[in-house]
Amino acid sequence: MSIFVLVFMAVVLYVQYLMLPDKDSEINPNAPMPDGLHPIVEEKTNQLIQHSAEKGISIVITDGFRSAEDQDKLYEKGRATEGTIVTYARGGESYHNFGLAVDFAIKIPSGEVIWDMTYDGNGNSISDWTEVVSLAKGLGFEWGGDWVRFKDYPHLQMDFGLSIAALQRGERPEEQPSADS
């Protein structure tokens, strides 16, 4: 009889343990949200624009920091509003919301902004898009075109090793690069 009681208590304790909230998924509502691009992301973005120009490629940043409210509006596109679905992230679920991502496009000599991944405006037989992505990766950006589930070709981000869950808990990357980076 005592073994039955011990097993029963062990099962009850195990079930209670399983029902504990997951600390990794808790959102800290008191964590201040950024209101612009992270300084390092901004600096690297400016370097990307400059390095691209040196290769004869003009790029524009079509989106950078995005508030949670703006993210929710974008999320509704193709769902509650007309258009094609452009994101699967709601407000607070995108690196844009934490100032850690930018979207880019190519600006051609006529002034038109294009998202053509095959365009070779500088005539070196390598698409300008490919060159910009290569430069971005060299500066430490992750490219959304490398993602497996949802390809986001204009998207560049620096997550500094932080997941969206970590950012939602209030963790933030350092404002300045560490001495060993």
Domain definitions of the chain by residue range: 34-65+97-168
The predicted structure's pLDDT at residue 32: 84
- Closest-CA residue to 154 (of 85, 94, 104): 104
- Cα 87 to Cα 14, 47, 63, 84, 102: the distances in Å are 38, 27, 13, 9, 14
Distance from the Cα of residue 74 to its chain's centroid: 14
- Residue 113 pLDDT exceeds 90: yes
How many Cβ atoms sit within 10 Å of the Cβ of residue 157? 20
pLDDT value of position 28: 76
Structure tokens at 69: 């409210």
Q: What is the mean pLDDT of residues 83-106?
A: 96
- At residue 179 the predicted structure's pLDDT band, cuts being 50, 70 and 90, is low
CATH of domain 34-65+97-168: 3.30.1380.10
Q: Among residues of the chain, what percentage have pLDDT more than 70?
A: 86
Confidence band, pLDDT 50/70/90 cuts, at residue 13: low
Q: Torsion angle, CA of 148/150/168/161, rounded to 10 degrees? A: 30
> Is the pLDDT assigned to residue 178 strictly greater than 80?
no
pLDDT at 25 over 90: no
pLDDT at 77: 94
Q: Which residues pair with 104 in a beta bridge?
A: 61
Q: Would you state the pLDDT for residue 41?
A: 98
pLDDT band at residue 168 using 50, 70 and 90 as cut-offs: very high
Q: Exposure of 122 by Cβ count < 10 A (0-12 exposed, 13-18 middle, 19+ buried)? A: middle
